[in-house]
Structure 1
Amino acid sequence: MTRDRRPLAGLLIGHAVSLTGNVLTLIALPLYVLAETGSPAATGLAGAFATAPVVLGGAFGGVLVDRIGYRRSSVLADVVSGVTIAAVPLLHATVGLPFPALLALVFVSGLLDTPGQTARTALMPEAAAAAGVPIERAIGWEEATSRGARMIGAPVAGLLVGVLGPVPVLAVDAVTFAVSALIVTVLVPRGMRPAAEEPEPERRGYWPEFAAGLRFLVREPLLRAMVLLVLVTNLFDAAKTSVLLPVVADRELGGPAAFGLLVGTMGGGALVGSLVFSAIGHRLPRRATFVTAYALCGAPPMWALAAAPPLPVVVA
């Protein structure tokens, strides 16, 4: 059997580059808002406009991915993110960028993020099978690329913002999305789709398909519990990442470099966990591993920010 590693490589590399762009946005955008307005409330509002489309895209984007295709969804998501992020430094340097216009660009930029990432993840089992790689290992690699993008991108973004300012970093950010779209276009075959999907599914209209997916979610206790769990925990995680970390880093810990270092440190710890899981995850009990890891990963960063120790202690 001939093994083709190009689709898996394309998904992993495209995923890493796209998420690097997301990390650059994560670091540069709140610092840009904080520098322009001086207001944590405005920073939080921008964070809300960055998070809301991720939620909406997750809820409504699944049917969109089914209808327009997985590869195309990934590419389209990166193109939209690249164009909208590029508009921020362009408008800032030319006609000016009012705060409501910034909020609109931030909202549109994130609207297809979740569908794009979902599309790449959905193709991972078939790409892993084509490469002859166990699915647990492929998913571990995918998670490792996600965490690695945060580990490397966040400190670099923090340093670049400290040296150049947030506007040039946002311009670099736009380029990363273009690169990701190109990689997926070149390496992932046009006709690739999840193996369990029918080649030509029956079309019933967007809202009937959305309602069918919602009914399936409500009927399945495990999926329902997972969605509620992620909803609640991501509520706090979004507040931490979009508001608490940039404001505390700017006012208490030394500025953009400290913000990037903190985000990168969390990504580095997660990278180690992902690599360990990719090596031994297929031997572990999934339920116990999930519950244990989830219980341990959330509270320590919040406690560190609340206690306000010196930066090395927060990093540890």
Structure 2
Amino acid sequence: MTQDPQTSSDASGAPASSRRGLSRHLVDIAPLKASPAFARLWIGGAISGVGAFMTTVAVGLQIYEITESTFAVGLVGGIALVPMIAAGLWGGVLADVFDRRKVVIASSLASWASILALVVLAFWEQHLQGLGTHAPVWPFYLVTTVNAITSTVSNATRGSVVGRILPADMLSRATALNGISFGAMVTVGPALAGVLAASIGLPWTFAIDAVLFTAGFLGIWMLPSLPRLGERVEAGWPVLKEGLTFLRRSPNIRMSFIVDAIAMTFGRPYALFPALGALVVGGGALTVGALTAAGAIGTMLTSLFSGRIAHVHRHGIAISRAIQVFGAFAVLFGVFTWVGMHSGHAAGEGWGGTDFSTLALMALAMAGMGASDELSAIFRQTMIIQAAPDEMRGRLQGVFIVVVTGGPRLGDMYAGALAAVTALWFPPLLGGFVIIALIVILTRAQRAWREYDATSPTP
């Protein structure tokens, strides 16, 4: 029965009448007030995440500068994929067996070391450029792979922490808040990377990431002790197998991974951005930062106006529809890229050589992709935490991180390789249609997914 909005209370316990009009649609910050540990983790993660996305963009620019190859940029993710999958699976095991605070501290320190190694490599490349040559590209692949491994373990553990430091009725709102921080990371980080790379150079861009990392580390260091609940077990294959068996018997959680992997594999044009900035739109590093930031703005807007998400219970249907919209915007990005390639504009460095009309259309498509992807992410992450017992959350978060980070790496390889043999506009155009078709087929085939209800969550 529908409650009277004038007398009912929302999930945080506040009267519905206190959140009238526009405020009802804005993000709910109750989780930050309810848990100081979550607030510190959230703030620190947002600041360090800005640096992480700076480095993601800067690595692509660095490798494109050395190789002038979109395929080589795409290989950054492809080479790290298999080690990262292993790290996600075993990182989830570590999070379910040991104190989660200790696991995330150790993995974060290793990530920090890999960022410092990138600083050294970038200064080496800068020195060799002055001598008229380039550094070999393989050390950059090696260090970014190490960073992907350690970050995967850290992120899987952080994801499993949230369910321990917040009550269950605040999980969807916490996920929406994470979307805001993620949007800020991807908006500010790439934009800063573009500006810094064009002004002070790539080595100092990596160095600033190393400094920003300290904020995230402080948020982790101040977490309470989070030992395993229940009986003590030894980390090893039986624990991993138990998690995989649980996933095999959990059609809804498994489906959430599958649909996201499809979207990220076929709908990510990020590996194309350096070439678009150099050959199509113009603007170089500034265009790369602008396009990446546009996707993040869409992400942030979805989270900012997420006040009503607690009222949505059919999460399976919501996720499917959001991903289909994501595919439609990917198609538009391909169309706009084709328009830019046939506009007759001569691409040049800096804003003076930029085709702003095409850039605006591409940015609009990226904002739509970011918004729809974030809506899907809110419901997927909430489903995993609500439907799984705490002793399984680390392993499931490990798989989740593998999907959300491995899918984009497959997507980078797909976009880079297909663009190399066709054209820059073709990968997102084809990929968008593939996403829409596959999601329609899978949703119709999986009845449990269509009927999933968050009021009685089942894995």
- TM-score where L is the length of structure 2: 0.61
Which of 78, 85, 100 in structure 2 is aligned with 1:48?
A: 78
Deviation at 1:9, TM superposition (A): 0.9
Higher relative contact order (CA 8 A, sep 6+): 1
Residues 66 and 137 in structure 2, CA contact (< 8 A), matched pair in contact too: no
Deviation of 1:52 (Å) = 4.4
* Equivalent residue, structure 1, for 2:193: 157
Q: Taking structure 1 as reference, are residues 252 and 73 closer, same or farther at Cα in structure 2, changes over 3 Å only?
A: farther
Q: Deviations 1:248-302 (Å, cap 9, x if unpaired)? A: 223222211111111111111111111222x111111323322222221244145
The unaligned stretches of length 5 or more in structure 2 are 1-32, 129-134, 341-357, 365-459
SS in 2 for 1:23: helix
Q: Tell me, in whole angstroms, the C-alpha distance in 2 between the residues paired with 1:137 and 1:185.
A: 24
What's the offset of the Cα at 1:303? 3.2
Residue 198 of structure 1 corresponds to 229
Change (3 A) 1:154 1:70: same
Which of 3, 13, 26 lines up with 2:43 in the alignment? 13
Q: Which structure shows the higher helix fraction? A: 1
Q: Find the residue that maps to 1:134 and give its secondary structure.
A: helix
Distance 1:272 1:139 in 2: 14
Amino acid at match of 1:134: M
Report Cα offsets for 1:208-249 as digits up to 9, x if no partner. 111111111112111222222222322235x522x2122222
Identity of aligned residues (%): 23
Listed one character per residue, the Cα deviations across residues 56-82 of structure 1 (whole Å, up to 9, x for unaligned) are 332332102223332223323322222
CA-atom RMSD in angstroms: 2.4
- For the residues of structure 2 that align with 1:151 and 1:92, how far apart are their CA atoms? 23
Deviations 1:76-127 (A, max 9, x none): 3322222112112213435975322221111111102223222222222332
Residue number in structure 1 paired with 2:386: none
1:171-192 alpha-carbon deviations (Å, 9 max, x no partner): 1112222331122203x21x13
Is 1:102 aligned with 2:140?
yes
CA spacing shift, 1:53–1:160, aligned 2, 3 Å: farther
Asked whether 1:168 is paired with 2:204, we answer: yes
1:266–1:34 CA distance, 2 compared to 1 (3 A): same
Q: Which residue of the partner structure matches residue 274 of structure 2? A: 246
Asked if the contact 1:82–1:173 (Cα under 8 Å) also holds between the matched residues in 2, the reply is no
Aligned mates of 1:299, 1:231 — CA distance in 2: 16
Query: Which structure 1 residue ranges, 4+ long, deviate > 3 Å from structure 2?
Result: 50-56, 94-98
Which of 141-150 and 280-289 deviates more?
Answer: 280-289
Matched with 1:280 is 308
| Pairs aligned (count) | 303
Equivalent residue number for residue 182 of structure 1: 218
Contact kept, 8 Å, 1:79 with 1:178, in 2: the verdict is: no
Q: What letter matches 1:98 in structure 2?
A: P
Q: Does the 8 Å contact 2:194/2:285 carry over to 1?
A: yes
Distance 1:154 1:215, change over 3 A: same
**2:163 equivalent among 120, 125, 128:** 125
| TM-score w.r.t. length of structure 1 | 0.86
1:212 aligns with 2:242: yes
Is residue 2:341 matched to residue 1:311? Answer: no
* Whole-Å separation in 1 of the counterparts to 2:335 and 2:76: 23
Query: Partner of 1:291 in structure 2?
Result: 320
Unaligned runs of 5+ residues in structure 1 are: none
Q: What is the rounded CA distance, in whole Å, between the counterparts of 1:295 and 1:27 in structure 2?
A: 27
- For 1:260, the equivalent position in structure 2 comes to 289
DSSP-derived class of the 1:202 partner: coil
**CA separation in 2, counterparts of 1:234 and 1:23?**
17
Picking from 260, 263, 272, the partner of 1:230 is 260
Matched-pair contact (CA < 8 Å) for 2:57–2:289: yes
In 1: Cα distance, 2:361 partner to 2:55 partner: 26
Matches of 1:247 and 1:51, distance apart in 2: 23
The reply on whether 1:138 has 2:167 as its aligned counterpart is: no
Whole-angstrom distance in 1 between the partners of 2:278 and 2:165:
42
Rounded to whole Å, the distance in 1 between the matches of 2:147 and 2:204 is 17
CA offsets per residue over residues 16-73 of structure 1, 9 Å max, x none? Answer: 1232232112210010001122222222222323444443332332102223332223
Q: Deviations over 1:150-209 (max 9, x none)?
A: 1122212211112122221111112222331122203x21x136xxx625x331441111
Could you say if the C-alpha distance between residues 291 and 111 of structure 1 is closer, same or farther in structure 2, counting changes exceeding 3 Å? Answer: same
